[in-house]
Structure formats: C-alpha cells, structure tokens
Amino acid sequence: MYQHQDNNCFPPPGGLHKGLIIPLVCSCPSECQCRAISIKKWYHSCKNPAFITQYGDIICKNHLKTCKGFFLQDARFRCREANQVTYYSKNTKSQFIMAIAQGLQFQQLQLSDHDLIEFSTSLNMSVFKRWNN
C-alpha cells in the first residue's frame, strides 16, 4: 500500500465477494516514523486507489485482471512522508477496526446510515471469522 495525494478515486467493479466497497482511508500505523495522525488515502502497489470491501478484502480497480486482492490482515503500508522503503502493518484486530472506523467516518456523507451499519457489521464478522485462519 502506498499513500498518495491523488483524488482520482472510483470504486472498482465487483467480483471479489461483491457487496459494499469504500476507499481505503486511514492514518499511518502507530510505528510509522511520520507520526502523523491525519487521514490518508492509500494506494495499491500498482499505484491505483485501494478500496476495502465489507468482507475485509483490499482491492484496486485491476483486481479482476492483473492485481490480486488480499485480506486486510495481510496489508502492508508504506508512508511517503517517512521517505522510507519500510513497510508497516497494523498487527492486531483492534488496530484494523480503529483504522477502518476512521475510513467510515470519512465516508459518512457518501453512504446511508443503513450502508454504514451493514458495512461495519459485515466487516467485524469477517475479521472475527478470517483473522488467523
């Protein structure tokens, strides 16, 4: 995952569990040297915007063609502000849930209350079922 400043952020087509998809936005992991707490949009290694599905899969617009989706537990983040090639991860379920909560706050104006509840409920259930399996 890369952090960029690009605003070209469109949801990719379905195909990976379908369901709701939101842009992946969250702060850097706590161990990042930038120490920033600001919310950032993240990008896949192919440099396209990253999205998270309600099932915890991280994908980009190319996930049906050239890029593979992966479960959020396997996500690795590299912050451009830190100017390093070091990758960080959010190591616990609670770190991911807190990060995704930031993303949901960011999406609050774009999603209905029903969609926000469906997304967060489904994501919590998926994390519970899939983490360390």
Q: Going along the chain, which residue ranges are E strands? A: 2-3, 21-23, 25-26, 40-43, 51-53, 57-59, 70-71
pLDDT (0 to 100) of residue 64 = 79
Positive or negative, the CA dihedral 90, 42, 35, 100 is: negative
Instruction: Say if residues 17 and 88 touch (Cβ distance below 8 Å).
Output: no
- pLDDT tens across 77-92, in order? 777 776 665 566 666 7
Rounded to an integer, what distance in angstroms lies between the CA atom of residue 39 and that of residue 80? Answer: 14
Pick the closest to residue 132 from 56, 63, 64, 58 (CA basis): 56
* Structural domain for 49, as ranges: 2-130
Structural domain tally of the chain?
1
| pLDDT tops 50 at residue 6 | no
**Taking residues 18-25, what's their average pLDDT?**
82
Q: What is the pLDDT of residue 106?
A: 78
User: Is 70 exceeded by the pLDDT of residue 31?
Assistant: yes
For the cut 80, the answer to whether the pLDDT of residue 35 exceeds it is: no
pLDDT at 7 over 50: no
Query: pLDDT for 57-83, tens place per residue?
Result: 888 888 878 888 888 888 777 777 766
Please answer whether residues 45 and 10 qualify as being in contact, where contact means their C-beta atoms are separated by less than 8 angstroms.
no
pLDDT of residue 13: 54
The whole-angstrom separation of Cα 103 and Cα 93 is 15
| For range 100-112, the mean pLDDT | 80
Query: How far is 124 from 109, CA to CA, in rounded Å?
Result: 21
